[in-house]
Copies of this chain bind each other. A is one copy, B any other.
Amino acid sequence: MKYKAENLCEFAEQAMVKGGMGTEQAASTARLLLEADLMGHTTHGLALCGPYIKSVKAGDLKPHGEVNVVKDSGGLVVWDADYLPGVWVTEQAINLLCGRVPTHGITAVSIRRSGHIGCLQAFLPIATEKGYMIILTCSDPSVVGVAPYGGCEPKFTPDPLAVGIPTDGDPVLVDISSSITSTSRLLQARRAGEKLPGPWLLTPDGETTDDPEVGFADPPGSILPIGGVEYGHKGFGLALMIEALTQGLGGFGRVDEPTVSWGASVFIQVLDPEAFGGKEAFTRQTSWLAQACRDTKPRPDVDKVRLPGEKGLALKRDMLAHGVVLDDAVREMLEKLAEEFELEFPEPI
């Protein structure tokens, strides 16, 4: 069964409005969750509609209102988002930075106490379509899951880093975590009753394991940073950078022991190549390298070398043309929302 993208977006927006979210917040959230689905990130797509509505009900997610501007010097901004819907908060922030970056060359925002921000990759085209490079990163100071290199107790989150790089063609859309795997991947493997593809976790005693259950045990195990027991100082270093950018610059984090879980500390930076060597000079380099990578001889078990985001953008084009496929679990959840809120669930095409 396939659905028209705009019908799913409209339905998701209506469902979140019925679930209490403000219209502006619901519209942005629906659009960007769908964007995640279109790019293949089904765990961070419309699958989050239900959990977001639950968070509103539980009082963890403030359904509407405005962010508090803690500081605004033009190019640099600090917001306290009061646990408003993080997808909407992040879209607002990127739009603000893109609007101001021609004046400042680099603009940045640090956001305290945002709600969950969903799929980082989905936001990147907002900036790359305007010719800007964007660096987007976040952490959740209320949660731990990843161990520092050398240790076997979780002390921080998978701390993702997303980077959008314009080229003459499709942008490069990097979205990686600083840990080998993510919490949602653990949940996926757990639900499917499967092992992980590698020994990506540590037991509380520091033994490596591929058993996702270890992440949810008591005491919990921990996810290894990128590089694992072999060279995990690399993922650890990245995580420390991200914790400093998100919670350090924001001035709110783990030391404050936030009680609202599933929040986010966010740092976003937009760079205008015009303020450096020029837009044309920038895309000349990035386009050349992108093509050089695509032209690389693949390993025997790989069909071709793909750039970050390439597969997602191809999938998006296909789904916009031929319809969106939903996971069974996601469709069932959305149908339940339709029933609960007396909304019509879109007809398949």
Contact = CB atoms under 8 A, between A and B. Distances in A.
Interface string A269-305: 1010101111001111110110011001111101011
A280 to B, nearest CB: 9
Contacts of A292: 155, 254
A98 interface: no
A76 to B, nearest CB: 4
A104 B75 contact: yes
Copies in the complex: 2
Contacts of A284: 251, 255
A172 interface: yes
A85 interface: no
Interface stretch (A9-17, A18-26, A56-64, A145-153): A145-153
Contacts of A283: 248
Interface stretch (A47-55, A238-246, A319-327): A238-246
The bracket for how many chain A residues form the interface is 35 or more
Given A151-B293, A165-B244, A174-B241, A108 B110 contact: no
Interface of A: 70-71, 73, 75-76, 78, 104-106, 108, 110, 112, 133, 135, 147-153, 155-156, 161, 163, 165, 172, 174-177, 180, 197-198, 202, 205-207, 226-227, 229-231, 233-238, 240-241, 243-245, 247-255, 269, 271, 273, 275-278, 281-286, 288-289, 292-293, 296-300, 302, 304-308
